[in-house]
Amino acid sequence: MRMSELAERSGVSVATIKYYLREGLLAPGRKLSERRAEYDDQHVRRLHLLRVLREAGAIPVDGLKRLVDAVEDRSGSLHQMFGPACDALGGRPAAKAASADARSLADQLVENAGWSEVRPDAPERDRLAEILEVIGSHGRVPDPDRVASYLALIDQLAALELGSVDTDQDRESMMEQMVIGQVAYGQLLLSLRRLAQEHHSARLFDD
Amino acid sequence: MRMSELAERSGVSVATIKYYLREGLLAPGRKLSERRAEYDDQHVRRLHLLRVLREAGAIPVDGLKRLVDAVEDRSGSLHQMFGPACDALGGRPAAKAASADARSLADQLVENAGWSEVRPDAPERDRLAEILEVIGSHGRVPDPDRVASYLALIDQLAALELGSVDTDQDRESMMEQMVIGQVAYGQLLLSLRRLAQEHHSARLFDD
């Protein structure tokens, strides 16, 4: 297909497609002549990925670049690429680093949850520590049983989400699905959770 | 306590405290003289709320104002105030409204989840529709059993989170806890979920 049709099918404007081509986020089409190129379904899929990341994740361009590099990298297993991809997705860096106590609590939670495959140097451990520090200034110590139930629920959620990835596809499609799941389903989760909390607040706190 | 001690205990700078006083986000202290006022634990608590909302939620000032109004409003039950508070927390408005199909799918999900207490005009329904639209352009139709399991897990999460609110406190503290839970625990949830996904991706996708 030509670029105009690619724009139509992907819902991404021609100007943005040209920008992604310049930035190396989208592979060039097959050249038909000096000024014409042919695009295919792989281009549509990649544009969908970029669109979801932009609309649902507000990921800056350097994050997109790291993500696309991870999606295209074939040097390791799908899992080995997913870690770096998640690193690129993990939100804003903190204004200041978390304390050693908060970091050690973060590591403890990961261990208690049984998530032994998380890289010891995964940046997400620091982000978790920062969030724990913000919450911690509130001063409440949560009940350990509740924490355990909470971790177990999140474990089930993550297993369900990743288990939904269609494995009958090529590697790049699977990676794209995993990344879209991270971002878009993260937003979906927060939205559904707000609705669920409104419901439960009625049950618990209506007079 | 004086303002300098309030700043120290809350971790919020004197300049920011003065700004919150001017904006009406923090009640004035008890006047001791023309230039001195006395602050108490309620001020520390409110500043903690504002700090969490700023650091974890990146909530703009008009959202903070609507939130503080909801926290202070005593005209209805705690639940009746929680809805408007959540509305103020619900993230950026969409660039364009979702389609009628997406909105109807959103309502269907809320109904399937059994969240009958969600207001029919809750803005979160529209936000859910927008997210579903972004995900929907991917074209995959999720398996109904997986959707049901997913909704059930989110239902349990929300019930667990709201059930952790300490009900032995005054109404304003409870409301603050609910709001902090919405925002900070939402970030916590996403961080833990990223860690859980890294773990499960090893289980599912490592060679």
pLDDT of residue A108: 93
Calculate helix-pair angle for A171-205, A61-72, nearest 10 degrees: 130
Report the residue from B89, B117, B189 with minimal CB separation from A202: B117
Interatomic CA distance for residues A181 and A162, integer angstroms: 8
Do the beta carbons of residue A3 and residue A37 sit within 8 Å? yes
Distance of residue B68 Cα from the nearest chain A Cα, in angstroms = 17
Between chains, do A153 and B158 touch, taking CB under 8 Å as contact?
A: no
Report the residue from B79, B128, B188 with minimal CB separation from A201: B79
CA Rg value for chain B: 21
Interatomic CA distance for residues A31 and A43, integer angstroms: 14
Helices (H) and strands (E) in chain B, counts: 9, 2
Provide DSSP, B4-18: HHHHHHHT--HHHHH
Query: Over the stretch A75-96, which tens digit does the pLDDT of each residue have?
Result: 888 888 888 888 877 655 555 6
pLDDT of residue B137: 59
Integer angstrom CA distances of residue B200 from A122, A156, B9: 15, 10, 41
Do the beta carbons of residue B2 and residue B38 sit within 8 Å? yes
> Which residues does residue B37 pair with via DSSP β-bridges, in sequence order?
B31
Q: Does B147 touch chain A (CB under 8 A)?
A: no
* ipTM entry: 0.84
What secondary structure letter does DSSP report for A122? -
pLDDT of residue B40: 93
Question: Which amino acid is located at A169 in the chain?
Answer: Q
- DSSP reduced 3-state for A86: helix
Q: Is the pLDDT of residue A17 over 90?
A: yes
Q: How confident is the model at residue A21 (pLDDT cuts 50, 70, 90)?
A: very high
Report which of B1, B170, B161 is spatially closest to residue A203, judged by C-alpha positions.
Answer: B161
Output b/e per residue, A182-200; b: 16+ Cβ within 10 A: bbbbbbbbbbbbbbbbbbb
Give the residue, A82 or A207, on which the prediction is more confident.
Answer: A82
Distance of residue A101 Cα from the nearest chain B Cα, in angstroms = 17
Between chains, do B206 and A114 touch, taking CB under 8 Å as contact?
A: no
Q: How confident is the model at residue A1 (pLDDT cuts 50, 70, 90)?
A: very high
Counting Cα atoms < 13 Å in the Cβ hemisphere of A145 gives 2
Q: Is the pLDDT of residue A203 over 80?
A: yes
Contact residues on chain A for B113, CB-CB shorter than 8 A? 192, 195-196, 199
Query: Over the stretch A109-132, which tens digit does the pLDDT of each residue have?
Result: 999 999 999 999 998 999 899 888
Best to test chain B binding among A140, A169, A205 (most B CBs inside 10 Å) = A205
Indicate the pTM of the whole model.
Answer: 0.83
Question: Which amino acid is located at B183 in the chain?
Answer: V
Between chains, do B138 and A186 touch, taking CB under 8 Å as contact?
A: no
Report the residue from B109, B143, B182 with minimal CB separation from A194: B182
pLDDT tens digits in sequence order for chain B, 207 residues long: 999 999 999 889 999 999 999 998 999 999 999 889 999 998 998 898 888 888 766 777 888 888 888 888 888 888 888 888 888 776 555 556 788 998 999 999 999 999 999 999 998 999 899 888 877 755 555 677 888 999 999 999 999 988 888 888 888 888 888 888 888 888 889 899 999 999 999 988 887
CA dihedral A108, A112, A113, A115 (to 10 degrees): 70
As given in the structure block, the two tokens for residue B83 are 């809805």
Interatomic CA distance for residues A19 and A64, integer angstroms: 13
Report which of A72, A77, A83 is spatially closest to residue A25, judged by C-alpha positions.
Answer: A72
Q: Does A97 touch chain B (CB under 8 A)?
A: no
Between chains, do A162 and B137 touch, taking CB under 8 Å as contact?
A: no
Q: Does B97 touch chain A (CB under 8 A)?
A: no
Q: How confident is the model at residue A29 (pLDDT cuts 50, 70, 90)?
A: very high
Integer angstrom CA distances of residue B98 from A117, B43, B86, B135: 39, 41, 20, 12
pLDDT of residue A141: 59
Interatomic CA distance for residues B17 and B12, integer angstroms: 7
Q: Does B148 touch chain A (CB under 8 A)?
A: no
